[in-house]
Amino acid sequence: MPTPDLPRLQAAYTVILNALGTELPDLVLQRTPERAARALCDLAAGYRTDPAQIVQRIDQDLDDGAQRSCSGDGLVAVRSLGFVSLCRDHLLPFSGCASIAYQARRAADSLTLLEVGSLAELVRVLGRRLQLPELLALDLVRVLAQVQGVAGVLVRVRVEQVCLGHIGAGYRGAIVSEEASGTLRDIGVAGRAQKLLD
C-alpha cells in the first residue's frame, strides 16, 4: 500500500497558506503545514489497508467455525457504524454512519454470521479515503459481495455532517445513499432488510 509523502504535503500546505495572501503569525506558518499534512494523511489512512485482506480474514474466520445454528432466512442487520471521510470534491472532511444488512448463506442447518468488528473495520478503511456518500455505499457493497458467507447485502450510508464545500453549494441536512447486491436486490427481501435498518 502507498505511503504518503509527508514532506511534500507539508511543502504544499506552506504554498497554500502563502497563496491565501493573509498575514499569518510566524507560529502558524511554522506549525500548521505539518499538522495539516498529518491530518490529511490520517483522513486518507484507508488507502494503506487492502479491503481484500479483510475479506480474506472474514472468510478465514468463517472457515474456522464461525458458523452458528440459526433459524429463519438469515437476515442480519448492523446499524450505525460511524466513520469520518474526506470529500473527493473539496478535500474537506465529512462524517456519518453506515448500516449494513446482509443475508447469510445457509449451509445445512447453519448460517455464516459475520463479526461486527470486521464490518466496522471495513467501514473505517473504506471511509478514510477520498469519498462521496454514494461511492462509499457502493464500495462497501462491492467488497462485502465478495465474502463467501454473504448471499446478499444492503448498505445504507447516512451523512450528517456534510463537507463545508457542499454546504456552500446549497446542500442542507443529511444525505442518505443506499446500494444492494445479490439476494438483497430482490424487492421482497430488500424490503424486509430495509425495515431492519430503519
| Number of amino acids touching Zn ion (CB under 5 A) | 6
Minimum distance from CB of 173 to Zn ion (Å)? Answer: 15
By CB under 5 A, residue 98 contacts Zn ion: no
Q: Yes or no: say if 94 and 163 are a contact pair by the CB < 8 Å rule.
A: yes
For residue 97, give the nearest of 86, 82, 87, 77 by alpha carbon: 82
Among 166, 177, 181, 193, binds Zn ion (CB under 5 A): 166
Produce one character per residue of 42-54: b if its CB has 16 or more CB atoms within 10 Å, e if not. ebbbbeebebeeb
Residue 87 interacts with Zn ion (CB under 5 A): yes or no: yes
Binding residue (CB under 5 A) for Zn ion from 90, 106, 142, 158: 90
Please give the single-letter amino acid code of residue 163: C
Q: Does 5 bind Zn ion (CB under 5 A)?
A: no
* Cβ pair 159, 133 in contact under 8 A: yes
Q: Is residue 89 at the binding interface for Zn ion, with CB under 5 A as the rule? A: yes
Pick 4 or 165: Cβ nearer Zn ion? 165
Residue from 101, 163, 189, 193 in contact with Zn ion (CB under 5 A): 163
Q: Which is nearer to Zn ion, 90 or 192 (CB)?
A: 90
Nearest CA among 133, 128, 157, 142 for reference residue 1: 128
Residues 6+ apart with CB under 8 A from 154: 100, 101, 102, 141, 178, 179, 180, 184, 190, 193, 194, 197
Q: How far is the CB of 92 from Zn ion (least distance, A)?
A: 6
4 touches Zn ion by CB under 5 A: no
Give the integer Cα–Cα distance in Å for 53 and 59: 10
φ, ψ of residue 140 to 5 degrees: the values are: -65, -45
Which residue stretch of 74-82, 107-115, 144-152, 156-164 sits at the interface with Zn ion (rule: CB under 5 A)? Answer: 156-164
Q: Which stretch binds Zn ion (CB under 5 A): 63-71, 81-89, 135-143, 183-191?
A: 81-89
**Applying CB under 5 A, which residues contact Zn ion?**
87, 89-90, 163, 165-166
